[in-house]
Structure 1
Amino acid sequence: MKQVTSNNKVALVFGGSRGIGAAAVRRLAKDGFAVGLTYVSRPDSAEEMVAEVMANGGQALAIKADSADAEAIQQAVQQLVSHFGRLDVVVVNAGLLRLGQIDSFTVEALDEILSVNIRGVYLAIQAAVARMGDNGRVITIGSNSAVRPLTPIGTVYGMSKAAVAAMIKGLALDLAPRGIRVNNIQPGPIETDMTIDQIDMIRGMVPLKQVGQPNDIAELVSYLASEESRYMTGASLTIDGGMSL
């Protein structure tokens, strides 16, 4: 077991090797957390993130875990706690995007999204809170598509994110007796390697005429992971430049 960082707290970011997840890892490490991050297919990105955190004086651990695999989720939490000794904050960022209209959307694609974006989120929270002390934090990364459908080909994705928004309300009540706060962030378009080819088109859809950056979401993760958010639970916070207005 290794000694944790200066604030004596540990966070786990599911889906933390790229994009929003990587930005959350950086910010939580800056805030003094020892951070674990899961990845599925990019060990290089995950290890680069660990090296970056450690080069800046922090502690990090990369864990391979597919969020469609219930056993892998359990093992990821167990590995993190075995390594750092505790768990205070979990950020559930892992998710899948599959697009298509109803006449072409396959059962396989439907099951894949539901498995990761709903079942995987619930199982990650379930595993985390079983090892988390009182007054911990659960943060999910949803989508503004839960509030307002943005395209007809995004029905299933939006449905999965609306399920997460509903899920955290019940879990907030469930976990309130333990002082565990449960909140959901609903980003709009964020500039990542997945969206870079469509940035100009996306920018035109946003009332503020700008596309969000991963750090914009990481700042909100930081707030929700802190004591400053102690009176907030069961909330879904939309951050999308006005797209869902």
Structure 2
Amino acid sequence: MKNISKAAIVTGASRGIGREIALRLASDGFAVAIGYASNQVQADAVVAEIIAKGGTAIAIKGNVADVDDVSKLFSSVQDAFGRLDAVVSNAGIMSLVPIKVDNAEKLDQMLRTNVRGTFLVLAKAAEVLGDGGRIVALSTSVIAKATPGYGPYIASKSAVESLVHVLANELRGRNITVNAVAPGPVATELFFNGKTEEQIMMLAKMPPMERLGQPLDIANAVSFLVGKDGGWVNSQVVRVNGGFA
């Protein structure tokens, strides 16, 4: 393994926004750990793409809602890279269901991955990162819209934003920033799943810029927050949404 000057973990990085964040951080000079839950082929493809471009990357399988898996993720990164400078908690799931008793199981699933998973990743990052460390969690701009069908998802991401603000204060004096990035509608598999073409077109037209965001739009914001120019941004929710909300 080549000499590592900075290293990052990106959870949920085998596809979508997480993949683009991993690629962008690799281009910024980070050695990147690709955290993934199940699809090894996609995760390995991200690693191969980074290595082909001269970067350094590894893929680590694990469930962010499992304490032992999260501990293994962080220890594996430290063993491989000898350091850790930034953690991006991106892994998440979304199901569009109304607030009805029959959908309690969907709520539980989203709370387990989106809230418990983020909690564990942020907690471990706080334990491991040293001076100058950066933590970023992914939220959503749909919180401001209160759109029907998004109740359980919004509940989970509202909790994520609260965790970010509290952790930033708990890390007072350690020179570690903790922020959230809240995308608007972004053209990913997660976004398209369960939506009609009409719904997709309507959402694309909602921002003043009249387009869906691209994963790179979100990755660029994360790059800023974990980069040298983002050091004075702390306990913030950066809504990267083209004016969606």
The TM-score, its normalising length taken from structure 2, stands at 0.93
Identity among equivalent pairs (%): 38
Runs of 4+ in 1 over 6 A off after TM superposition: none
1:87 alignment partner, SS class: coil
Partner of 1:217: 218
State the distance in 1 between where 2:52 and 2:162 align.
39
1:106 alignment partner, SS class: helix
Partner of 1:189: 185
State the distance in 1 between where 2:77 and 2:137 align.
18
Give the unaligned 5+ runs of structure 2: none
2:235 aligned partner, one-letter code = G
TM superposition shift of 1:125: 1.1
TM superposition shift of 1:105: 4.3
Q: Which moved more, 1:204-213 or 1:24-33?
A: 204-213
Taking a change above 3 Å as real, the CA distance of residues 194 and 110 of structure 1, as seen in their structure-2 partners, is closer
**1:189-208 pair list within 5 angstroms:** 189-196=185-192, 198=197, 199-208=200-209
**1:15-34 pair list within 5 angstroms:** 15-34=12-31
TM superposition shift of 1:109: 1.5
Q: CA RMSD in A?
A: 1.4
May I ask how many residue pairs the two structures share in their alignment?
240
1:226 aligned partner, one-letter code = G
Residues 6 and 30 in structure 2, CA contact (< 8 A), matched pair in contact too: yes
2:235 alignment partner, SS class: coil
1:96 alignment partner, SS class: coil
Partner of 2:131: 134
Give the unaligned 5+ runs of structure 1: none
State the distance in 2 between where 1:171 and 1:119 align.
14
State the distance in 2 between where 1:224 and 1:161 align.
19
Matched, 1:167 2:163: yes
Residues 86 and 131 in structure 1, CA contact (< 8 A), matched pair in contact too: no
Correspondent of 2:79 among 65, 82, 86: 82
Q: Which moved more, 1:21-30 or 1:190-199?
A: 190-199
Taking a change above 3 Å as real, the CA distance of residues 166 and 18 of structure 1, as seen in their structure-2 partners, is same
State the distance in 2 between where 1:111 and 1:23 align.
28
The TM-score, its normalising length taken from structure 1, stands at 0.93
